[in-house]
Amino acid sequence: MQYRVIFTEDIRYCFYGRVMMKVIAVVQNKGGVGKTTVTRVLAEYFSRQGQRVLVLDLDAQCNLSRRFLTMEYDAADPDGVLPPLHPEFDISDDQSGWSGRSSSADIYFSGDVYPYPTQLDSLLALPGHGPRLREIELVRSDEVRDAVHNRLHLFLSLVDVQRSFDLVFIDTAPAKGPLTISAVRAATHLIIPTTLEPQPIEGLYGMLQLWRREQNSREADRPLQIAAIQPNLFRKGVALHEGLLDSLRDDQALASMLSPVILRQRIAFAESDHPGAQPKSLFDLSPKDPAHKEVLAFCEHIHERLIR
Ligand SMILES: Nc1ncnc2c1ncn2[C@@H]1O[C@H](COP(=O)(O)OP(=O)(O)O)[C@@H](O)[C@H]1O
Ligand SMILES: [Mg+2]
């Protein structure tokens, strides 16, 4: 896919036609439940299917960005993860006024946005920028916070974005802060990964509240669907896991949202998270490998939910 420049200032060119692009936000205010894993696996699956995919990292920790790009570090700030220089950046062109780095934070700061190419042809990434995303999370004024809440939806409504991508996957921080709310507001679908332990289950119910509130504030022609409540890191034989899974299955209100594919705790998932992993992708494991089969079943389930 050709890399493109998307101008956030062109918000006046919003897309008023039938919206085909799907925006999937992966949310859960507990960490370590598999948000980043689920986002990267789905982005990879759909781009291997030939769909034009954009991944957006809204977590200041930038874990998702690291999977797709070689991120850099600000020596003066231990949490300062920065995007690399963009491959299209011309260092000799000092008239451009561009720093050469682009990130998801630029969407909120009204900068121009330059998605990065990745190893996969039809997958572009807009990485996080640790310090700038943290700055957005800390906004206190109601007025600025409202602007942040709406900003991503406006950006993803741009005609250029709508024409460039079929799917956008958004990875979020383990928080219900302004950036996560902006992702929920921009989304057509939510995926809520959860482990089968008390705190993440509480987090799941909190996310469902956020979803209902958002549903109630939307126009009827822009529904927000739950593509999946996705159990992850399940261990068979662990009474806590089995008990909590049963209670999710018994909850009638959740029945239509609970994924039938349960992702187990498998070392292959964690190994594939390592930058030096061989093979690099779960999809390059043998078709008989249980982790490959499971992840494929999960992606196929989400695929079916998205085209419904
Ligand atoms: N099904 C799984 N089996 C084994 N390890 C997993 C699985 N899912 C996620 N992990 C690992 O657990 C850790 C947390 O997952 P991650 O996707 O980063 O969660 P989050 O983004 O919600 O914080 C990572 O090290 C990841 O590799
Ligand atoms: Mg994460």
Which residues, given as ranges, of the chain have pLDDT below 50? 1-3, 10-18
Instruction: Please write the tens of the pLDDT for every residue from 31-72.
Output: 999 999 999 999 999 999 999 999 999 999 999 999 999 999
Pair type for strands 22-26 and 167-171 = parallel
Check residue 275 and give its pLDDT: 72
- What is the per-residue pLDDT for 201? 97
- Residue nearest (by alpha carbon) to ligand 1 atom 5: 270
pLDDT of residue 6: 58
Q: 79 with 151: CB under 8 angstroms?
A: no
Give residue 11's pLDDT. 45
CATH class of 6-307: alpha beta
**Which tokens hold the place of 250?**
């018994």
What single DSSP character describes residue 290?
A: H
Whole-number pLDDT of residue 173: 97
Which protein residue's CA is at the shortest distance from atom 15 of ligand 1? 34
Residue 7: its pLDDT value, please?
54
240, burial (CB in 10 Å: exposed 0-12, middle 13-18, buried 19+) = exposed
Using a 6 Å CB cutoff, which residues line ligand 1?
A: 31-37, 63, 174, 232-233, 263, 265-266, 269-270, 273
pLDDT at 61: 96
List the one residue out of 136, 134, 73 whose CA is nearest residue 101. Answer: 73
Half-sphere exposure of 292 (CA within 13 A, CB side): 11
Residue from 180, 194, 273 whose mutation best tests the ligand 1 pocket (most atoms within 8 A of CB): 273
Torsion from C-alpha of 256, 262, 263, 264, nearest 10 degrees: 150
Residue nearest to atom 14 of ligand 1 (CA): 32
- Least Cα distance to 102 among 162, 178, 155 occurs for 155
- What values do phi and psi take at 53, rounded to 5? -115, 140
**What are the residue boundaries of the structural domains of the chain, listed by start?**
6-307
